[in-house]
């Protein structure tokens, strides 16, 4: 990988480290973390035990690193800085401002599109399977089929999942529920000379049964919720209940109906 410090003597040196990092090939999934966010030490709580040469790495990210370091040391600090930036990134993207930045990238399809044919190229979002660094690489979540996929390019497949976190895409949809696409019951039906396969058809009937059961359960559950029961009550009370419902992630009946169908 290109090293920022190595081309330090170039004219590029005047550029900010974060800009250089985001422009490096393979880092397309990252968004720019606000400088104020990095400078607020509260946001970095605990990262000093996670990252070696923490203070130098932080100085490098904020472009305050002392230049009198030897080559070898710079490489180490550089590596730490990338790791530190990733960990800060994971925290930043679930803040309000971080979510809007990632939303822009989602709309531009910076994370690629779902490889599943029946998802019709729906844009993906990065997600981790573990929040612990160095454990699992980043995966891509499709909100249409609600499944996760490996990135196409090996450059992206080697990014640490911890730089995005397990919660990010789901947090995004909690905040922007209107982005959740309508779910479809389409599925691929294997056929031999036009005939369906018995075993597969049995499994499909089982899946249909599961889907109908969960649909009925959700409908019954929603009917029992205060949101719908409060329809006759005063507006002030209803607002309060709606707010409570939003907070616990409970949907209004009409919203959930649209999702299920």
Partner 1 sequence: MSAFDHQQQQQQLMRPDNVEEEEEEEDEEDDEEQIQGEYNEEYYGSDVSNESGPETMPWIAWFCSLGGHQYFAEVADEFVEDDFNLTGLNSIVPFYKEALDMILDLEPEEDSTKVPDVSIVEASAEQLYGLIHQRFIVTRQGLQQMADKYQAGHFGSCPRTFCQSTNVVPCGRYDLPGVETVKLYCPNCQDIYSPPSSRYHNLDGAYFGTTFAHMLFHIYPELVPIIPNKIYAPAIYGFKISEYSRCGPRMQWLRNKQDPKTLDASGKLIKDSDDEDK
Q: Which residues bind to partner 1, rule: CB under 8 A?
A: 115-118, 129, 139, 141, 143-150, 152-154, 166-167, 169-171, 173-174, 177, 180, 183, 187-188, 190-194, 197-200, 202-211, 214, 217-218, 221-222, 225, 248-252, 255-256, 259-260
As a whole number of angstroms, the distance between CA 104 and CA 93 comes to: 12
Looking at beta carbons only, is 22 or 171 nearer to partner 1? 171
Q: What angle do CA 99, 140, 210 make, to 5 degrees?
A: 105
Q: Smallest gap, in angstroms, from Cβ of residue 172 to partner 1?
A: 9
Q: Smallest gap, in angstroms, from Cβ of residue 14 to partner 1?
A: 27
Q: Smallest gap, in angstroms, from Cβ of residue 167 to partner 1?
A: 4
Looking at beta carbons only, is 117 or 234 nearer to partner 1? 117
Looking at beta carbons only, is 103 or 225 nearer to partner 1? 225
Q: Smallest gap, in angstroms, from Cβ of residue 29 to partner 1?
A: 14
Q: Smallest gap, in angstroms, from Cβ of residue 195 to partner 1?
A: 9
Q: Across the chain, which distance is largest between two alpha carbons, in Å? A: 73
Looking at beta carbons only, is 13 or 206 nearer to partner 1? 206
Closest among 101, 90, 88, 79 to 31, alpha carbons compared: 101
Q: Smallest gap, in angstroms, from Cβ of residue 138 to partner 1?
A: 10
Looking at beta carbons only, is 22 or 226 nearer to partner 1? 226
Buried/exposed code over 150-166 (b: 16+ C-beta within 10 A; e: otherwise): ebeeeebeebbbbbbbb
Alpha-carbon distance values, 45 to 41, 174, 229 (Å)? 7, 25, 44
Looking at beta carbons only, is 85 or 141 nearer to partner 1? 141
Closest among 123, 153, 120 to 138, alpha carbons compared: 153
Contact 70, 12 (CB under 8 A): no
Kind and range of the H or E run holding 37:
helix 35-39
As a whole number of angstroms, the distance between CA 95 and CA 36 comes to: 13
Closest among 64, 68, 52, 53 to 17, alpha carbons compared: 64
Tokens of 93: 């993207």
């Amino acid at each position: 990988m290109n090293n920022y410090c190595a081309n330090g003597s170039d004219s590029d040196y005047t550029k900010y480290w974060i800009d250089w990092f985001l422009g490096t090939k393979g880092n397309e999934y990252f968004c720019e973390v606000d400088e104020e966010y990095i400078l607020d030490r509260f946001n970095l709580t605990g990262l000093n035990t996670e990252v070696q040469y923490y203070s130098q790495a932080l100085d490098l990210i904020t472009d305050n690193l002392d230049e009198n370091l030897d080559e070898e040391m710079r490489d180490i600090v550089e590596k730490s800085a990338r790791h530190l930036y990733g960990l800060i990134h994971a925290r930043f993207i679930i803040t309000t401002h971080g979510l809007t930045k990632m939303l822009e990238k989602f709309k531009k399809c910076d994370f690629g599109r779902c490889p599943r044919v029946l998802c019709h190229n729906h844009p993906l979002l990065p997600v981790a399977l573990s929040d612990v660094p160095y454990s699992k690489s980043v995966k891509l979540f499709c909100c249409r089929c609600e499944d996760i996929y490996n990135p196409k390019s090996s450059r992206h497949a080697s990014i640490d999942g911890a730089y995005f976190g397990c919660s990010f895409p789901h947090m995004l949809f909690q905040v922007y529920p209107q982005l959740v696409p309508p779910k479809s019951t389409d599925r691929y039906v294997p056929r031999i000379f036009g005939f369906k396969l018995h075993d597969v058809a049995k499994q499909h009937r089982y899946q249909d049964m599961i889907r109908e059961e969960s649909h009925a359960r959700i409908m019954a559950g929603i009917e029992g919720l205060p949101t719908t029961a409060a329809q006759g009550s005063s507006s002030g009370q209803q607002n309060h209940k709606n707010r409570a419902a939003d907070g616990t992630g409970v949907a209004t009946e009409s919203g959930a109906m649209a999702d299920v169908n």
